[in-house]
């Protein structure tokens, strides 16, 4: 293997399924909490599950937020998954107000969506959903990202109670629709991609997406 | 568009996939990891593994099976049975489980739900409610495969565990389990009425019509299926066809799956 993929180890519960998924793609990633290691990797993956505040605190107390910031400045590919995506934002409101890394301007807000009959959607929102390009865009927007090659209707596994709200709508790379409302499913800023769903838990479609990330 | 997950439930006893009727009279079905891979390849949305003899040993014994499945099947896995402490949860998540299902220990000390939810997230914290009918419109929460009473009303208990931080409920009707005569619709309705978290209906599906019934008459977020799949009365494909017919979202599978020519990665 010529290129080094680091998976940031900051105490998130889902690193193991991420590592299993990468291994099935033939990649022995480095599960690392060493800032030096992360800064010099060829690509970095930030997993995440659970509550935003706790994850943010773990990331900051280990100093890994700075290492991630430095890595991102190199322009090399970065992928944040679920809470790992939400941490890219400036601020999250899960159990209080907590700072994110502020790499993408915007917030992480509680999902509160009602259907046509006025019934609130059950949260966490759990399930497989198809991605769509944001309004006014076509699949061309996916070009050069891990989403390139996503087929119409390809579904990915989501589980979340909070969703990102980028200040600049052009940061939204893909959406899913819940009760007629579009919720960001993937965001982008240059070399930084965040996905709300779990590619490591999204079957073949998810593995294909991770494989494309490894080849960026 | 309605979105309902199909979740094969695998009850495991000492490395065997087994299935009983009303949580008794267990029969061997096969190798759990092999069957899990087959269901995943056919389009299962998630898998649930329950260690049905965990209480006997006071611990969950599925670690190896979980690791084996998690390293070859890339869909969410829930593991239940014998989980007593946050450390138990950490160990199962470290083997590749995505969620744990709590029952006995939670009924003894509901604070455990909060502890686990705070530490690992509500999304990882499922509470399994085994309900037995106790008069008209009333159910009692049971433990140990329906053998022991908790003295708790199942519907009240559902409300309480949500308040404690559970992110999902797995609601099993002991009366309907293994009979293949349909889900206990009243029970599922009563519980979805009082909680705002997703509810997985478990126990009783035996035909395509039973799934249609669940979709039409309840707000269940997911359907657990066991004996109908294990004894090959139904396939995941049959159930996916029901979802499509009911106007639910059905996720596409890689080409070749429908005819069985694609096997899961091993």
Asked if A23 and B71 come within 8 Å (Cβ–Cβ), the reply is yes
**Separation of alpha carbons B122 and B100, rounded Å:** 10
Q: What is the mean pLDDT of chain B?
A: 94
> From the CA of B24, how many Å to the nearest CA of chain A?
31
Domain ranges of chain A: 5-215
B130 is catalytic: yes
Confidence of residue A1 (pLDDT cuts 50, 70, 90): very low
Residue B256 pLDDT: 61
Residue of chain A whose alpha carbon sits nearest to that of B122: A50
Chain B residue numbers with beta carbons less than 8 Å from the beta carbon of A23 are 71
Catalytic-role residue among A20, A36, A82, A91? A82
Classify the complex by whether its ipTM is higher than 0.85, answering yes or no. Answer: yes
**Per-residue pLDDT tens over the stretch A161-188:** 999 999 999 999 999 999 999 999 999 9
**Separation of alpha carbons A184 and A186, rounded Å:** 6
Asked if B98 and A201 come within 8 Å (Cβ–Cβ), the reply is yes
Catalytic-role residue among B45, B88, B130, B177? B130
On whether any CB of chain B is under 8 Å from the CB of A201, the answer is yes
Asked if B198 and A24 come within 8 Å (Cβ–Cβ), the reply is no
Residue of chain B whose alpha carbon sits nearest to that of A154: B252
Residue B28: pLDDT above 60?
yes
CATH number of A5-215: 3.40.50.880
**Separation of alpha carbons B253 and B36, rounded Å:** 16
**Per-residue pLDDT tens over the stretch A85-108:** 999 999 999 889 999 999 999 999
The string of DSSP letters for B105-148 reads HHHH-THHHHHHHHHH-GGGEEEEEEEEE-STT-EEEEETTTTE
Give the full edge-to-edge strand order of the sheet including A172-178.
A30-32, A5-8, A43-46, A78-81, A192-195, A181-189, A172-178
Residue B220: pLDDT above 50?
yes
The dihedral sign for the CA sequence A125, A128, A129, A131: positive
Residue B262: pLDDT above 60?
no
**Per-residue pLDDT tens over the stretch B117-172:** 999 999 999 999 999 999 899 999 999 888 999 999 999 999 999 999 999 999 99
Catalytic-role residue among A37, A94, A200, A204? A200
Confidence of residue B258 (pLDDT cuts 50, 70, 90): low
Task: Give the residue from A128, A51, A127, A62 showing the smallest Cα distance to A95.
Answer: A51
The string of DSSP letters for A50-84 reads S-HHHHHHHHHHTTHHHHHHHHHHTT--EEEETHH
On whether any CB of chain B is under 8 Å from the CB of A113, the answer is no
Chain A residue numbers with beta carbons less than 8 Å from the beta carbon of B72 are 24
Residue of chain B whose alpha carbon sits nearest to that of A202: B75
Q: Which domains does chain B have, with CATH numbers?
A: 5-245 (3.20.20.70)
- Report how far apart, in Å, the C-alpha atoms of B30 and of each of B13, B61, B207, B261 are: 11, 17, 22, 21
Asked if B121 and A24 come within 8 Å (Cβ–Cβ), the reply is no
**Per-residue pLDDT tens over the stretch A29-72:** 999 999 999 999 999 999 988 889 999 999 999 999 999 999 99
Within a 10 A sphere around the Cβ of B256, how many other Cβ atoms?
Answer: 11
Residue B178 pLDDT: 95
On whether any CB of chain A is under 8 Å from the CB of B225, the answer is no
On whether any CB of chain B is under 8 Å from the CB of A16, the answer is yes
């Amino acid at each position: 293997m010529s290129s080094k993929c680091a998976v940031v180890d900051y105490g998130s519960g889902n690193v193991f399924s991420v590592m299993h998924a990468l291994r099935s793609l033939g990649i022995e990633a480095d599960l690392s909490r060493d800032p030096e290691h992360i800064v010099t990797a060829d690509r970095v993956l930030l997993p995440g599950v659970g509550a935003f505040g706790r994850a943010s605190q773990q990331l900051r107390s280990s100093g890994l937020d700075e290492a991630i910031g430095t890595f991102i400045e190199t322009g090399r590919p970065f992928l944040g998954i679920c809470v790992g995506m939400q941490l890219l934002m400036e601020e999250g409101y899960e159990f209080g107000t907590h700072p994110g890394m502020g790499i993408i301007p915007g917030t992480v807000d509680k999902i509160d969506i009602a259907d046509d009959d006025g019934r609130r959607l059950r949260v966490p929102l759990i399930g497989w959903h198809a991605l769509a390009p944001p309004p006014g865009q076509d699949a061309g927007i996916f070009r050069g990202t891990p989403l390139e090659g996503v087929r119409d209707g390809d579904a990915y596994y989501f589980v979340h109670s909070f969703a990102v709200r980028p200040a600049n709508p052009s940061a939204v790379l893909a959406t899913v629709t819940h009760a007629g409302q579009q919720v960001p499913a993937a965001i982008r800023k240059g070399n930084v991609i965040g996905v709300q769903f779990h590619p490591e838990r999204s079957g073949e479609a998810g593995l294909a997406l991770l494989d494309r990330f490894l080849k960026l | 568009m309605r979105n309902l997950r199909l979740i094969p439930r695998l009850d495991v006893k000492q490395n065997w996939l087994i299935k009983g009727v009303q949580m008794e009279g267990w029969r061997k079905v096969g190798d759990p990891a092999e069957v899990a891979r087959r269901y995943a390849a056919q389009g299962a949305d998630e898998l649930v593994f329950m260690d049905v003899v965990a209480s006997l040993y006071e611990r969950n014994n599925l670690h190896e099976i979980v690791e084996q499945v998690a390293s070859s099947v890339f869909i969410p896995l829930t593991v239940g049975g014998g989980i007593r402490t946050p450390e138990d949860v950490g160990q199962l998540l470290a083997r590749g489980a995505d969620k744990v299902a709590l029952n006995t220990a939670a009924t003894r000390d509901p604070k455990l739900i909060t502890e686990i939810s705070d530490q690992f997230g509500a999304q990882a914290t499922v509470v399994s409610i085994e309900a037995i009918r106790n008069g008209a419109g009333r159910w009692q929460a049971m433990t140990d495969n329906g053998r022991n009473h908790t003295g708790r009303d199942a519907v009240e208990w559902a409300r309480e565990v949500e308040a404690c931080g559970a992110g999902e409920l797995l609601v099993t009707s002991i009366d309907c389990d293994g009979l293949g005569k349909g889900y206990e619709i009243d029970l599922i309705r009563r519980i979805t009425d009082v909680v705002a978290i997703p509810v997985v209906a478990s126990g009783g599906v035996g035909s395509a019509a039973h799934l249609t019934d669940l979709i039409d008459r309840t707000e269940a977020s997911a359907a657990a299926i066991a004996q109908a799949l294990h004894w090959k009365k139904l396939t995941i494909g049959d159930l996916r066809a029901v979802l499509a017919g009911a106007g639910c979202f059905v996720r596409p599978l890689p080409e070749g799956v429908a005819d069985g020519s694609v096997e899961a990665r091993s």
